[in-house]
Amino acid sequence: MGKSPLLAFWLVVLPACTHSKSLSPDAPDANRGYFADALNCRQSALRTEAIKVPTAHSMSVIEVPTTYDTGKFVVCMAYAERPVSRVDLSDYLNISSTCLNEARNMANPDDAYADCIQRSRLNIEIITDK
């Protein structure tokens, strides 16, 4: 009776610890969340400027988007463990924005975004800490 919970534990833990095909970069789920990561990184890289606008009895502050910080976009994508370009950061951001717009209304935006990035002529790689 004492061995059956231990056996059940090992049957659950052992497959989770082994290297499976689903963890390889070529797996079908490798693109899961790619579109969302790119969209979040693009939004976080947006620079804004605070402008004071007079209202009837006070001053209001409005955040106006000005430009994108390409370095911040690349750091965000690298942190999300997504392929990034090391050559021309502005081209990478522009192509990523184009791919986001292209994949926006697709049935599977993650795969559509990944295909668009692969079709581009960017030299992208996965940056690791190693």
Which pLDDT tens digits describe the chain residue by residue (130 residues)?
555 554 444 444 444 444 433 344 455 577 889 999 999 999 999 999 999 999 888 989 999 989 999 889 989 999 998 888 777 788 888 889 999 999 998 889 999 998 898 888 776 655 555 5
d(CA 84, CA 79): 10
Both tokens of 62, joined, read 């409005």
Cα–Cα distances in Å, from 60 out to 48, 51, 57, 64, 72?
A: 15, 8, 10, 13, 28
Q: What is the pLDDT of residue 90?
A: 82
Amino acid present at 35: F
Answer for the pair 92, 54: CB distance below 8 angstroms, yes or no. no
Q: What is the pLDDT of residue 5?
A: 55
Q: Rounded to 10 degrees, what is the CA torsion of 30, 123, 35, 40?
A: 120
| Residue 68: Cβ-neighbour burial (10 angstroms; 0-12, 13-18, 19+) | buried
